[in-house]
Structure 1
Amino acid sequence: MTSPSLGSNALTPRQRQLADAALVIIAREGLAGLSFRTVAAEAECSLGAVQKAFPRKETMLAAAFARLREQSVSIPSGEPGRPTLRAWLVSLMISILPLDADRRAAQRQAEAFALYSASDPAIAGAITQSDDQLRNLLASLVMRARSEGEIPATVDPQRTAWAVLALTQGLAAQLSYEPRPERELRERLEGIIASLLSGA
């Protein structure tokens, strides 16, 4: 069964509150721990209030996923790709990686929804759309950096965008079970990004 709607803007304040409570449960217990009853307990409201806000569990999951997407935007402040593409990409990746409690929770939530997307085309499509949007942004920044002479013209925008996103997502998953200090990660990422942008 597919999720009805994935837009956070259409949610009422009560639905947002309950969707956020659902995300807390997903981070703590995974999707297996999510039910109308556990959301009611987490939000400190009645079971009837949850059922009134979300007629079906799928509707609640769609709302929780919409809230996750809304809250997990991690684009560094300032103009994208500045002052240099290399420095900005490292900052972007560090801001996404699960290096504190909030980002570790968001990573667990994202992993739970990624697994759920195998049986929910709407969530699978929303994840794909998010990935495509980020890859398109990265590719456009690579193109600009090439045109400005910051990086060699031999650097392929699409391949670089795919590599950066794949590296970030893979490293985020690895850090879930093998934490590393930010300083070490930053040093390694600086070397990897420098290599990607070298055009070699």
Structure 2
Amino acid sequence: MTAASLGGRELTARQIELADAALTIIARDGMAALSFRSVAAEAGCSLGAVQKAFPRKERMLAAAFARLREQSVALPPDAPGRPTLRSWLVSLILNILPLDEHRRSAQRQCEAFAHGAASDSTIRAAVSESDAQLRGLLASLVLRAREEREIPAHIDPEATAWAVLALTQGVATQLSYDTLPTNELRMRLDGAVAALLAAPAADADTAPHN
């Protein structure tokens, strides 16, 4: 979405090169084939150069996932959250969803990270860091819209950011087996986003419990 960063700092040219090499390996050979040595071979550099750029594998995975998101998401043409947060979020989600081969390939790579995260704490930390950064951006836009009285004052920025990301990931999964015409998909997303930005939070005494 924005320039890929690691720990709040933009990646260096060398880190970008190596992160892209890591993504190539993941797309071609799977997550299990990824190592400092395989990245060095793919990038045509020394093992020491990879270890200097990324002292820990977790850092390399985080950079690769950040680059994946940067490359696979085309931001809407308007400034973030403009002309309205609702319309911008709908456009953003549509840009993320796997509606062409490029984005379907990115979705498969994201799924590889998600699958690996279930059993590998290093991958889990990389994905979690990227998600936290994305939720932070979305939360800041929700907060601004609330302060500008575009949306009701009761809307919680962090909870809404979490819900938008969950909505996006859920729809992306559904589209792998149940496709929809783009116009219908846009209409459904608009309704879902409108509900997130206007519905009052559930009362603690009346919310369903498991």
Q: Which has the higher contact order (CA 8 A, sep 6+)?
A: 1
Cα gap change, 1:112/1:51 in structure 2, threshold over 3 Å: closer, same or farther? farther
**Counterparts of 2:169 and 2:17 in 1: how far apart (Å)?**
32
Unaligned runs of 5+ in 1: none
2:63 to 52, 56, 66: 66
Alignment check: 8 A CA contact 1:94 1:186 kept: yes
Matched, 1:19 2:22: yes
1:150 and 2:147 equivalent?
Answer: no
Structure 1 residues 78-128: Cα deviation after superposition (integer angstroms, max 9, x where no partner): 421111000011011111111110111111111111111233322211211
Counterpart contact for 1:54–1:60, Cα < 8 Å: no
Aligned residues: 183
TM-score of the pair, normalised by structure 2: 0.70
Deviation of 1:13 (Å): 8.1
Are the counterparts in 2 of residues 65 and 113 from structure 1 also a CA contact under 8 Å? no
Q: Hey, which of these two has a bigger chunk of helix by percent?
A: 1
Identity of aligned residues (%): 49
**Which residues of 2 match residues 51-200 of structure 1 at below 5 A?**
63=60, 66-73=63-70, 74=73, 75-200=75-200
Provide TM-score, normalisation by structure 1.
0.73
Residues 188 and 119 (structure 1), Cα distance of their counterparts in 2 relative to 1, 3 Å cut: same
Contact 2:57 2:122 in 1 (8 A): no
1:160 and 1:21, CA in 2 relative to 1: closer, same or farther beyond 3 A?
closer
Whether the aligned pair in 2 keeps the contact of 1:152 and 1:197 (CA below 8 Å) is: yes
2:12 to 4, 9, 14: 9
Following the alignment from structure 2 to structure 1, what is the Cα–Cα distance between the partners of residues 159 and 17? 42
Structure 2, unmatched stretches of 5+, are 1-5, 201-210
Instruction: State the one-letter code of the partner of 2:172.
Output: A
Structure 1 SS opposite 2:89:
helix
C-alpha spacing 1:23/1:142, structure 2 compared with 1 (3 Å): same
The answer (yes or no) to whether the contact 2:26–2:33 under 8 Å persists in 1 is: no
In structure 2, what residue type is equivalent to 1:109? Q
Change (3 A) 1:60 1:153: closer
Residue 20 to residue 143, structure 1, CA distance change in 2 (3 Å): closer
